[in-house]
Amino acid sequence: MASETIKKHPYHMVNPSHWPAVGTLAALIMAFGGVWYMKEGPIYLFLAGVALLVYTSWGWWRDVVAESRNGVDHTNVVRKGLRMGMVFFIASEVMFFFAFFWAFFHSSMPMLSLVAQEVWPPKGIVPLHTWSLPFLNTLILLSSGVTVTYAHHKLLAGNHKATAKGLLATIILGLTFTGLQAYEYAEATFKFTDGIYSSTFYLATGFHGFHVIVGTCFLMVCWFRARAEHFTPEAHVGFEAAAWYWHFVDVVWLFLFTVVYWWGGSGYVAG
């Protein structure tokens, strides 16, 4: 009987966990709280959902980190599966952003829609200057791609201190990008409700900003783990996933900068 309990396969049979249920509850509370707040209600319910979601993330990550370090669960086969899962997740994110780009093109190009605007940007919209804050943010985000790649190379070389420094630099650049994005929104002359240009602009850039925040949190977790020397040159799937996600965020921004900021604002004529 004892031999039947010995693991005879390379797969990770995950133990029952309460975190999916708690995370679902957190998302539900956030949804109700958000709707209530938009209907002139207090924001407390939404913030309670956010707090529960943060707690869920911390607990779930803690359990996954423990599984990755016990020397049993995360075999080579499991790590390969985790990498493929991240690849498929990023592919789904590509489709997510494709919808926003399509909405932008659909509204701005007459050959794609009979209801496209005759002038783009529409009259009354003063687009943001391409070569000011948007270009600066492009340089910042591209630089962060360099620093996270530097951190990865140092990790492969077994240099944990340099890895942590590279991650910290990436985190600082990510936070700087987010701050400048918020400042850009505050300085914009158009609001979300000012027409199709405004709504597609804020949806595309806003969701990208949300992904930057998520990626920054992801890198923060990796920074703490790098400082604790959790990663090895042979096993660092968590770091790889964070780096891939961050590079994906970089690439999406290049498309946003080119399509939404540069091309999307090139037809503006000052009145």
Task: Report the distance separating Cα 216 and Cα 211, nearest Å.
Answer: 8
pTM metric for this prediction = 0.89
Taking the CA atoms of 231, 236, 238 and 239 in sequence, report the sign of the dihedral they define.
positive
pLDDT (average), residues 201-212: 96
Residue scoring higher pLDDT (123 or 59): 59
Residue scoring higher pLDDT (244 or 11): 244
For each of the domains in the chain, give its residue range(s) and CATH number, in order of start. 15-73 (1.10.287.70), 89-265 (1.20.120.80)
pLDDT above 80 (res 201): yes
- Residue 3 has what pLDDT? 42
Task: Report the distance separating Cα 82 and Cα 90, nearest Å.
Answer: 12
- Residue 154 has what pLDDT? 97
Condensed to tens digits (0 to 9), the pLDDT of residues 89-119 reads 999 999 999 999 999 988 888 656 555 667 7
Residues 6+ apart with CB under 8 A from 91: none
- Residue 232 has what pLDDT? 93
Q: Are 231 and 163 a contacting pair, CB within 8 Å? A: yes
Per the structure block, which two tokens stand in for 42? 């207090």
Q: What percentage of the chain has pLDDT greater than the value 70?
A: 93
